[in-house]
Structure 1
Amino acid sequence: MKATINIALVGNPNSGKSSLFNVLTGLNQKVGNFPGVTVDKKTGNTSISPEYSATIIDLPGTYSLYPRREDEWVAYRVLMQQDKQVAAPDMVVLVADASNLKRNLLFASQIIDLKIPVVIGLSMMDLAKTKGIKIDVPELERELGVPVIPINPRKNKGIPQLKKAIEQTAQHLYKTPVRDFINNEGLALEAVSHMKELIPGMSDYKAIHYLINHESFLLDDQVQEKIEAIEVKNQFNHTKTQAEEILQRYQRIGNIMKQAVTEPSPLEKSLLTEKLDDILLHRRWGYVILLAVLFLLFQSVFWLAGYPMDWIDQGFAALTGWMSGWMPATWWSDLIINGLLAGIGGIVIFIPQIMILFGLITLLEDTGYMARISFLTDKLMRKVGLNGKSVMPMISGFACAVPAIMSARNIENKKERLLTILVTPLMSCSARLPVYTILIALVIPGKLYFGFLSLQGLVMMALYLLGLVMALVVSWVAKWFINIKEKSFFILELPTYRAPRWKNALVTMVSKAKIFVFEAGRVILVISLILWALSSYGPGEKMAAVEQEYSTLMEQSQSDSLKVAELEQQKSSALLANSYAGILGHAIEPAIRPLGFDWKIGIALITSFAAREAFVGTMATLYSVEGGDDADQATLAEKLNAAKRTDGTKVYTLATGLSLMVFYVFAMQCMSTLAIVKRETKSWKWPLIQLAYMTALAYFMSLLVFQLFK
């Protein structure tokens, strides 16, 4: 039986760490969250040799062992063996960027001094060669005292040699260096000595970290008090010790670089990356190119996702039709078909958008352009309490808020990340599109200006811009109320431009789809079943009276099949009106009447909570129109256009139509979004706040529009 090694995979951001993880584990990996935090926890398994297998945990990228951000704290606690829910690593595989070796060796030297067995994978060797950098790998290995293996995960080079070094390290053929990289004990001689007496067996460098960060460690109160006493007695200065340590490390790294690395003159000709940045980060053209890229990204999600979403929709429609004909007409068959199956369909239909969006974003990240987008937009975003990294989740929200909110994880600052999550649902997602389409066709005339500018198209664009502008306004207001005192640093390394890796994009697409289906999907399914029950059942007397009334009418019209079909549709509408959902619609009618809405629109607002696009299907049912797809939209529009109130006035006037569109721009009518916000924030507090502010905003803006136009 193979022995299993627990390996922590670490490295600086953009060093090639994730590429190595994907090569080693392939699709044999799991993605979850670290306990208590919304930072991706990626683990996978791989075979090292006939004798050894490995469980690899891909820790978030970090530049040193002095953490500032949430993701850096995650990596730090695992390396310091202070995360009780993550197995202590038997070994560390550190990925170092050969083209930026000096900076990467700082982190490497710190981990070596923790006295955990280390194997260094030297990535980006081809880029280093392009830059004219030559590395004497055997000399570098001698100076560091640990195995150094050149690798290229993108081309699967050096992986067998890396696995061999891991095996030899596990067999203790490579031993942990006896001497420290620098004289750690000398940084605080007495304090380190007392720390090692208190907790025997730790290295000098680990003792220093206990002195600096023990408040964040899993230690009992008595030990905490003793460490505090050691600090006070020896006048231990955190900042001075850290600064002295970094200075000494860079001095030693400088000597190693002289011995093992040959670098060209900095005055040599700039690389392709620098030439591209002159164009893509230009003060004017950079923004034009950015808008073009975002337009293509936005359109591609619609173009590419449209086909599989249609296939899924048609597939579920066919399955529903087949099951309706095959199963007996009972309450449990209705539950399975219109509750369970409809709920599953509502989950699965989102998968193409999620996979395509994350696939395209991964390709942008792979090429190195994503970092440039954040750089270009940081100035505007910062004025409203966000930062440059907020722009991609917000743009992604035009397709679907669920993957957009998931993508906000790369924002390190907690306040800016929370603000991004809170305002992203204000972007008009694709689920709002069917609502906008039918309402615009209903109340906006099809005029053309200058022969090509459509009034209906301008209104559609205005709705999208309204959501974007309001998101920036809400963020600016909310930043004064969210009391998270965390400094915001927008430190961003601009990676080298590279060709995208399609396999890496595929792995990301699959993993993100799995997260959505198994995490948010469970909540969506439960609420779908609740909505089915509310729409299918009502007070016994009322439902029985409707059944009796329509049974009598159908008996009288048995000879007229068209009349019977029409009565069936009217019966469905009457049953819905008298169901608990219908009663709720009548109950909220006094509250929504000032917005120009009637009780039927009230029911649509309730059923739309499952999915906004349910508005069209709900109105189709209520007005006894079959379906609600493109083929029937004209008929539905005619029915809506002919709808009258009890006083004989039209329901869908210009004022009501605009009011309803504005309501859908701002309202949080998406249970999947609330579910994913709860998952990302680890609390119901923020989704409830989001639901409250968006509902209030939708109500008052809709009220304002109706009063202005009525």
Structure 2
Amino acid sequence: MAPQQLHIALVGNPNSGKTSLFNALTGLNQKVGNFPGVTVDKKTGFTTLDDGTHAELIDLPGTYSLYPRRADEWVSYKVLMDADEVKPNVVLLVADASNLKRNLLFCSQMIDLKLPIVVALTMNDLAEKKDIQINVSGLETELGVPIVLVNPRKNKGLNELKKALSLVGKSTNKIQPRDFINNKQLAASSIDALQRLQPQLSDYAAIHYLINHESFPLNEALQHDIEQIEIDHKFNPTKTQAEEIMQRYQRIKIIMQQNVIEPDPLEKKLFTEKLDNILLHRTWGYVILLTVLFLLFQSIFWLARFPMDGIEWTFQQITTSLNNSLPQTWWSDLLINGFIAGLGGIVIFVPQIMILFGLITLLEDTGYMARISFLSDRIMRKVGLNGKSVMPMISGFACAVPAIMSARNIENKKERLLTILVTPLMSCSARLPVYTILIALVIDNKYYFGFLSLQGLVMMGLYFLGTFMALIVSYVAKWFIHIQEKSFFILELPVYRSPRWKNAGITMVEKARIFVTDAGKVIMLISLLLWFLSSFGPGDTMQKIKDKYAILEQQQPQQQQVLNKQLSSEKLQVSYAGILGKTIEPIIKPLGYDWKIGIALITSFAAREVFVGTMATLYSVEEDDSNTSLRDKMQASTHPDGSKVYTLAAALSLMVFYVLAMQCMSTLAVVKRETKSWKWPAIQFVYMTILAYSMSWLVYQLFS
């Protein structure tokens, strides 16, 4: 009888099509968290099998074998060794048909763990292009596990796969009849001694307990007993592992000879190799890379302009309607100037967030993102990093938190630490709303040659500034971090494939949902808090100002509109928010900022995108004009002497500040967790603040 809910662990080599299969089986029914006790992403999704069984799919980090090196590989290993809170009923192993020999190593290890396995054979179309022919039934007989041909990109084979998972799920007590290799002979006496202590272990699982038992949640007595077995029977983990891998490849070679026909590798040069001759060229490769990045940032403006204008117009209409229909009370003021203004500051940037993530997903899908790492390795090494640093840094364009966590893939400690220190300088999606509104304020919406957007070029320049400063900081910091460790750069380049539009769509919807729900919560909370701080002040100061303007309105009834605006402005200045802003104004005045921008800088430490919500709330409280957009209100904003607040110099200075400043508490927290010390986040905060202030001051002076 099938369990009420089947728990399926999805495993496989990196670049084997695992993510494609996960998305095809689960669609939008996904969620991302962390594995218990560690900061490695835990991606889970839900699907329904052919017999109606509800199944939870756990996407484990990719790994090449059952001998882990990185933190994410350890997570997969512990789940498969039953040493983790995650307990799968069935293992769905994804194997690349076009690279079967390498994939069969991991598959054979899984078989010897005696886990209930279904093999999903992917990349069959690519294998066909390579003229590789696989006898699937013969392979199934040799391995003793069900094999299903699938093409997740075209939803082929998914029903057959669900049927196989259902059948294996119903017979989870069935143990595989034979080992792939004779594991017992690798360390017979040690295995026998351990199995007397732990009878449930297979021969192969026993070998792994002998090698890695310190990493398993075993009691102290059992740990001691296993140590003693190693000593008594002279167990040699290195020799055992080497012999095991050698024997596995010997058997895999025989299986491949009997069931797989492969052409001479020199006979056919694949399209991928021909394309790499161009895209990885020593000169043209970099020209193409810059062109791709240029188009990426241009597209953010090209494609998002119309939906953003539509959203802005919609919120203006909502605000106008509510202003006309609701009574003038504190709760209507809270609703319109607190809640609606804050919500508008969130939703308007959803199109750009979706477009950015969609385009990055397409680059990953095509295989080009890995080429960016390869091209960048030469530059990265000169500043103390390596090509593997590029992926966390590019991920930093989305969010610094998961980007810093992904730096675990860098084996060299010094390069990993340098990557963590500079990744927050990459312009994350939280900065995008700030750039967008400031660029719209001071940069003309003009096009060169009919298609080159000036605003897009400025946006691209901001992203390049963050990247350039990250390289400079890394170059300087490498002389102060004294960790001596040899560095290697080994990268598997996936084949080029057509992008999966469905996958891009899923990612866009998911990232928009995360932005609206996660970042939106913070923005809304701060918007409502700001409304309170902007609407109330100490003592009876507010009442005195109201009384003063009540008298003026009686004396000058024809000036009521002007007096109302002056009343709102004066009330804002003596409110709690106004007092806070005025207090820090002397510090930020050399950068060209006023006290309202000062408040936004403070609130941005919770989340950078709060800048827009802060400005929306402050200007809504100050100006009771629902027909005017936030951009227009900021455009009309002036200093007490009548000069404009958002001049070209001030806006560029503010953009540079947001490029370089550490304004994210979550990032500091994750750096502390990854480095296991407050030393590095403190250094990060100090150097980024000094850098942001000095560079912003320099920009303001140059453009004033």
TM value normalised by structure 2: 0.86
Q: Cα gap change, 1:657/1:362 in structure 2, threshold over 3 Å: closer, same or farther? A: closer
User: Does the 8 A contact of 1:523 with 1:675 survive in 2?
Assistant: no
Amino acid at match of 2:12: G
Report which stretch shifted further, 53-62 or 509-518: 509-518
Q: Say whether residues 1:694 and 2:688 are aligned partners.
A: yes
AA matched with 2:561: A
What is aligned with 2:585?
Answer: 589
Q: Is the 8 A contact 1:92 1:116 kept in 2?
A: yes
In structure 2, the residue matched to 1:164 is 163
Compared CA separation, residues 509 and 687, structure 1 to 2 (3 A): farther
Q: CA deviation at 1:335?
A: 2.7
Percent of counterpart pairs with the same letter? 59
Q: Distance in 2 between matches of 1:295 and 1:456?
A: 12
Counterpart in 1 of 2:41? 40
- The one-character-per-residue Cα deviations of 1:497-544 (angstroms, maximum 9, x if unpaired) are 111111122222222333333333333332333222222221132222
Give the Cα separation in 2 of the matches to 1:190 and 1:299: 66
Q: 1: CA distance between counterparts of 2:283 and 2:691?
A: 35
- CA shift for structure 1 position 24: 2.1
Partner of 2:434: 431
Deviates more, 1:650-659 or 1:293-302: 650-659
Alignment of 1:247-258 (within 5 A): 247-258=246-257
Q: Quote the Cα distance in structure 2 between the aligned partners of 1:347 and 1:176.
A: 54
1:527–1:653 CA distance, 2 compared to 1 (3 A): closer
Opposite residue 72 of structure 1, the aligned amino acid is E
Task: Give the CA deviation at 1:232.
Answer: 2.7
Q: Which amino acid letter does the alignment assign opposite residue 497 of structure 2?
A: R
Which structure 2 residue ranges, 5 or more long, are not aligned? Answer: 411-415
User: Could you say if the C-alpha distance between residues 143 and 289 of structure 1 is closer, same or farther in structure 2, counting changes exceeding 3 Å?
Assistant: same
Task: Say yes or no: does 1:265 pair with 2:259.
Answer: no
User: What's 2:281 paired with?
Assistant: 282
Q: Is the 8 A contact 1:554 1:567 kept in 2?
A: yes
Equivalenced residues, count: 686
2:46 aligns to what SS in structure 1? strand
Kept after mapping to 2: 8 A contact 1:566/1:624: no
**CA separation in 2, counterparts of 1:500 and 1:431?**
30
TM-fit CA distance, 1:704:
5.3
Letter aligned with residue 30 of structure 1? K
Structure 1 partner of 2:520: 521
1:678 and 1:431 map into 2 onto residues whose CA distance is: 23
How much does 1:292 deviate? 0.9
Amino acid corresponding to residue 438 of structure 2 in structure 1: V
Matched position secondary structure for 1:5: strand
Match 1:565 to one of 561, 567, 591: 561
Aligned AA for 2:7?
N
- The alpha carbon displacement at 1:668 in A equals 4.2
SS in 2 for 1:540: coil
Within-5 A mapping of 1:646-685: 662-668=656-662, 673-675=664-666, 678=669
The answer for the alignment partner of 2:352 in structure 1 is 353
The one-letter amino acid of 2:530's match is L
1:575 corresponds, among 571, 574, 582, to: 571
How far does residue 629 in structure 1 lie from its aligned partner after superposition? 5.1
Q: Residue 585 of structure 1 contacts residue 599 of structure 1 at CA under 8 Å; is this kept in 2?
A: yes
Question: How has the CA–CA distance of structure 1 residues 535 and 239 changed in structure 2, closer, same or farther, with 3 Å as cutoff?
Answer: farther
Distance 1:217 1:378 in 2: 36
Structure 2: distance between partners of 1:415 and 1:286: 28
Change in Cα spacing, 1:410 to 1:306, as seen in structure 2 (3 Å) is farther
Deviations 1:231-261 (A, max 9, x none): 2333333222222211111111111111111
Moved more, 245-254 or 322-331: 322-331
The worse-fitting range, judged by mean Cα deviation, of 595-604 and 114-123 is 595-604
What is the aligned partner in structure 2 of residue 237 from structure 1? 236
Distance of aligned partners of 1:329 and 1:383 in 2 relative to their CA distance in 1, 3 Å threshold: farther
SS in 1 for 2:524: helix
Q: 1:15-38: CA deviations, max 9, x gaps?
A: 122222222222233232222434
Secondary structure at the aligned position of 1:522 is classed as helix
Q: Structure 1 residues 363 and 232 mapped into 2: Cα distance closer, same or farther (>3 Å)? A: same
Q: Where in structure 2 are the equivalents of 1:298-447 lying within 5 Å?
A: 298-391=297-390, 394=393, 402-403=398-399, 406=402, 410-411=406-407, 412-413=409-410, 415=417, 418-419=420-421, 421-425=423-427, 429-435=432-438, 438=441
2:49 counterpart letter in structure 1 = I
Q: Does the CA contact (< 8 Å) of 2:418 and 2:477 recur in 1? A: no
Counterpart of 1:551 in structure 2 is: 550
2:610 aligned counterpart, secondary structure: coil
After TM superposition, the structure 1 stretch with the greater mean CA deviation from structure 2, 115-124 or 524-533, is 524-533
With 502-511 and 262-271 compared, the bigger mean Cα shift is at 502-511
Stretch moving more, 157-166 or 135-144: 157-166
Q: CA separation of 1:692/1:615 partners in 2, compared to 1, >3 Å: closer, same or farther?
A: farther
Tell me how far apart the structure 1 counterparts of residues 596 and 362 of structure 2 sit (CA, whole Å).
45
Q: Note the C-alpha offset of 1:111.
A: 0.5
What SS does the corresponding residue of 2:267 show, helix, strand or coil? coil
The residue identity in structure 2 corresponding to 1:581 is A
Q: Distance in 1 between matches of 2:125 and 2:474?
A: 43
Deviates more, 1:135-144 or 1:154-163: 154-163
Contact 1:406 1:680 in 2 (8 A): no
Q: Distance in 1 between matches of 2:343 and 2:246?
A: 58
Which amino acid is the alignment partner of residue 137 of structure 1? V
CA distances 1:439-471 after superposition (whole Å, capped 9, x unpaired): 678xxxx9xx9xxx9999998876665433222
Query: Where do residues 139-158 of structure 1 align in structure 2 (5 Å cutoff)?
Result: 139-158=138-157
Match of 2:413 in 1: none
| Secondary structure of residue in 1 paired with 2:314 | helix
Deviation at 1:579, TM superposition (A): 1.0
RMSD (Å), alpha carbons = 3.9
Using a 3 Å threshold, how does the CA distance of structure 1 residues 351 and 191 change in structure 2: closer, same or farther? Answer: farther
Distance 1:27 1:223, change over 3 A: same
Question: Contact (CA 8 Å) 2:122, 2:150: kept in 1 or not?
Answer: yes
The code of the aligned residue for 1:15 comes to S
Distance in structure 1 (CA, Å) of the matches to 2:589 and 2:254: 77
* Partner of residue 468, structure 1: 467
Question: Residue deviations 1:162-196, cap 9 Å, x none?
Answer: 23322332344995333211122222222222221
Could you say what secondary structure the match of 2:21 adopts? helix
Deviates further, 612-621 or 163-172: 612-621
What's the offset of the Cα at 1:109? 0.3
| Contact 2:438–2:651 (CA under 8 A) maintained in structure 1 | no
Structure 2 distance, partners of 1:432, 1:165, is 51
- Determine the structure 1 residue equivalent to 2:103: 104
* Aligned pairs for 1:10-159 within 5 A: 10-50=11-51, 52-84=53-85, 86=86, 88-159=87-158
